[in-house]
Amino acid sequence: MSSGKILVAQGGGPTAVINQSMVGVALEARRFPGVTRVYGALHGVRGIVDEEFIDLTQETSHNLELVAATPSSSLGSTRDKPDIAYCRRIFEVLRAHEIEHFFYIGGNDSADTVRIVSEQAREAGYPLRSIHIPKTIDNDLVGNDHTPGFPSAARFVAQAFAGANLDNAALPGVYVGVVMGRHAGFLTAASSLGKKFPDDGPHLIYVPERTFVLERFLDDVKAMYERHGRCVIAVSEGIHDASGEPVATLLAKEIERDDHGNVQLSGTGALADLLCDEIRSKLGIKRVRGDTFGYLQRSFIGCVSDVDQREAREVGEKAVQFAFWGDADGSVAIRRTGFYSVDYELLPLDFVAGKTRTMEDEFISESGTDVTDAFRLYLRPLLGSGMPDAFRLRGARVPKVLHRED
């Protein structure tokens, strides 16, 4: 018989729907007769070692539903990556509070945290059931058709490029939009879902799955600019040269690294500005503009996929069911079962933890600067209902009077 106390925490970067998963855990857990308390740790594993817990059992279901619909991690998050000493402190706290079920919502780094905690618990002989709940806008968890949080961020990116394309058509020039994604280009590729007419942008898409060659990039831009009189470009922040060095770091004066050894790529407009400078100086195009989508793409309130919301809730619910009715620790994963429907399964933690999925070859066009129809078919149902649409004038030309073309 378990203690009846469970703990849920949120790690890594926030998403538009990560609270759905937390609320899914909190509400589903209370349907299990043995559960007495659902605690939430503030700021992820950091809150566990600091014993910073709140009692989610005392929240009303009404307020939980409102929080579920609110973006970002309502419990707070952390970038801490527990080592063995850190995990010992986690056990001390869990044991002191008689917590025997641990749910951690996050990406592949968080999955690795759950894996270490799970191993430490087993080694320490502590009866802990640890479940990782998937979340990442990067869509880079192995074993998942896609990850909660990605569809809403993808929707933001698609809508942003749909608008940027319209803006660029009105005032022609070159537009570079830099999208999050360190190793996986899924989110950048989502820009393609903002296209409607054949001459719409993005006309070029650069993902980290393909080596970035500056000269080839400039040739691509020149060709598109000559064809359309304008060019809209989607670039992943993680693009790199043949040696694997990120293009972004080529000009970064100071490289800031987080605790995971990751280079800081977001929160700076450097990459967009560098690329714009190159286009301006090498191609002689005057109107060149660059935007870095930055934190807007994962935090914007009011741009969310209803499919994503539903699935993020379900992974939380299923995590509780796997924990109480199953007999193993693991990572909840989304499996696609129809067009469009999904089911959930529990994968071994070491299958998911610390690993990075990148875009499959079948999703990237042969040119390396576009996506395939397979990708469009993959992504479209995830974006959900009510996607805004763009329309054009059909444009019956009025014959010229003064400048007659004979």
Q: Which of 17, 21, 24, 39 binds a second copy (CB under 8 A)?
A: 39
Site stretch for a second copy (CB under 8 A), options 110-118, 205-213, 323-331, 393-401? 393-401
Does residue 169 bind a second copy (CB under 8 A)? yes
C-alpha span between 207 and 209 (Å, rounded): 5
Catalytic residue among 80, 112, 138, 140: 138
Answer whether 134's CB lies under 8 Å from 312's CB: no
Nearest to 349 by CA among 23, 117, 95, 53: 117
Q: Which residues pair with 9 in a beta bridge?
A: 104
Q: Looking at beta carbons only, is 292 or 331 nearer to a second copy?
A: 292
Does residue 257 bind a second copy (CB under 8 A)? no
Does residue 6 bind a second copy (CB under 8 A)? no
Q: Looking at beta carbons only, is 72 or 113 nearer to a second copy?
A: 72
Does residue 142 bind a second copy (CB under 8 A)? no
Q: Which of 36, 70, 249, 321 binds a second copy (CB under 8 A)?
A: 70
Q: Which of 84, 124, 171, 255 binds a second copy (CB under 8 A)?
A: 171
Q: Which of 6, 190, 239, 288 binds a second copy (CB under 8 A)?
A: 288
Q: Which of 102, 103, 175, 212 binds a second copy (CB under 8 A)?
A: 175
Residues 79-108 that bind a second copy (CB under 8 A): 79, 92-93, 96-97
C-alpha span between 167 and 234 (Å, rounded): 15
Angle formed by the axes of helices 18-29 and 61-68, to 10°? Answer: 160
Cis peptide before 344 (omega within 30 of 0): no
Nearest to 177 by CA among 14, 262, 308, 296: 296
CA distances, 321 to each of 12, 65, 127, 328, 357 (Å):
24, 20, 17, 12, 26
Does residue 394 bind a second copy (CB under 8 A)? yes
Evaluated on CA atoms 86, 312, 134, 259, the torsion sign reads negative
Angle formed by the axes of helices 18-29 and 306-325, to 10°? Answer: 40
Answer whether 96's CB lies under 8 Å from 3's CB: no
Answer whether 15's CB lies under 8 Å from 300's CB: no
Whole-number minimum distance, CB 328 to a second copy, in Å?
A: 28
Nearest to 286 by CA among 213, 229, 238, 338: 229
Whole-number minimum distance, CB 141 to a second copy, in Å?
A: 20
Q: Which of 27, 114, 164, 224 binds a second copy (CB under 8 A)?
A: 164
Whole-number minimum distance, CB 401 to a second copy, in Å?
A: 4
Does residue 229 bind a second copy (CB under 8 A)? no
Whole-number minimum distance, CB 364 to a second copy, in Å?
A: 25
| Site size for a second copy (CB under 8 A) | 85
Does residue 400 bind a second copy (CB under 8 A)? yes
Does residue 393 bind a second copy (CB under 8 A)? yes
Q: Looking at beta carbons only, is 66 or 213 nearer to a second copy?
A: 66
Is 138 labeled as catalytic in the residue annotation?
A: yes
Does residue 58 bind a second copy (CB under 8 A)? yes
Q: Looking at beta carbons only, is 270 or 379 nearer to a second copy?
A: 270
Answer whether 290's CB lies under 8 Å from 276's CB: yes
Which pair of tokens denotes residue 178?
């830099």
Q: Which of 3, 295, 306, 372 binds a second copy (CB under 8 A)?
A: 295
376 φ, ψ to 5°? Answer: -60, -40
Does residue 263 bind a second copy (CB under 8 A)? no
Does residue 1 bind a second copy (CB under 8 A)? no
| Residues annotated as part of the active site | 138
